[in-house]
Structure 1
């Protein structure tokens, strides 16, 4: 079982407050067993749309369908990717990466660049890095450049952009990474990213003063 999904199940178990909720939880888990995969997949898909289902049940069903490549999970997973709970976001990102839906990169880019949701952009950014899609570099550059110019830099989000640009290895990021070096809290990640782009940590990098 993947770490993200285990964390989700542990969180859900800790929130159950009644015997009926425990029975419902066990019932959803029973659907994850593969001895009747086709039938169970349909049951999981129904959980996504049935009225009255708790969010945790939809989360588990969406993850299970996503990692099996069932595109009915796409919209719930995108919603969870930008959710306020990091465990939900991590699970959604893992499932979307496995789902391989062609809409995923565009959706992740829209979430990563949404100025109103910057605080929740970490997992969309990480997913874009993993996908290596055409949308990945433009979205990371747009977000990083905006954060470098903003009064509130959202350091973890900016750092994720820097790290992702290093992994993606596109030299169009050099100027933005040099700008990131001007901020002490981003400089180590920016140096590493530039090293990944150029082969040496200091190539084409001018000394800068601390911000």
Structure 2
């Protein structure tokens, strides 16, 4: 949490607006999510704080941030969504993880699915990994997160995919470990 707040403080230029949002109440934070003209750091701060407080008004903003091109924003959104406890989170993360046009930004949705352990988690990880097992796929980090997630979820339906992943140099160790976790 402190890393996120420090990053946002720096992005704000240590502005008074940052301090106001850092100490604002839930209703003011929710209002900030829909206020016109606020910079991205302000919206992220409001959504992040609301998410950590379990306020579901942050859900849509956090899902948008989960799909952002900036990895630290995605990671902060995933952290807040994991705490938020909104029942829509797993479905949204699965949609982002399996979107073939957004694979470059799928790392945090994949990790979030693993953490959530929802019914949507393993099928989404299998679908994502399945399409990333082609030789020289540039999204090997996403594939690695899928392999690790399927091992953590101990998904028996992933055995064939994990066996195929063993032939990929960057995935081999994690795939072997995941297969051991399946028993």
TM-score (norm 1): 0.83
- Give the unaligned 5+ runs of structure 2: none
In structure 1, the partner of 2:4 is: 8
Deviations 1:78-136 (CA, angstroms, capped at 9, x unpaired): 00001111111111111111111111101000000011110110000000001111111
Match status 1:101 vs 2:94: no
* CA distance, structure 1, for counterparts of residue 69 and residue 76 of structure 2: 13
* CA distance, structure 1, for counterparts of residue 78 and residue 11 of structure 2: 22
* CA distance, structure 2, for counterparts of residue 86 and residue 151 of structure 1: 22
* CA distance, structure 1, for counterparts of residue 63 and residue 23 of structure 2: 25
Q: Which one has a bigger Cα radius of gyration? A: 1
In structure 1, the partner of 2:20 is: 27
In structure 2, the partner of 1:157 is: 142
| 2:162/2:178 contact within 8 Å kept | yes
In angstroms, what is the RMSD of aligned CA positions?
A: 1.3
* CA distance, structure 2, for counterparts of residue 173 and residue 83 of structure 1: 28
TM-aligned CA deviation for residue 190 of structure 1 = 0.3
In structure 2, the partner of 1:206 is: none
Q: Which runs of 4+ in 1 moved over 3 A?
A: none
| 1:7/1:87 contact within 8 Å kept | no
How many positions carry a matched residue from both structures? 183
- Give the unaligned 5+ runs of structure 1: 32-39, 199-211
| 1:71/1:99 contact within 8 Å kept | yes
| 2:11/2:41 contact within 8 Å kept | no
| 2:12/2:41 contact within 8 Å kept | no
TM-aligned CA deviation for residue 52 of structure 1 = 1.2
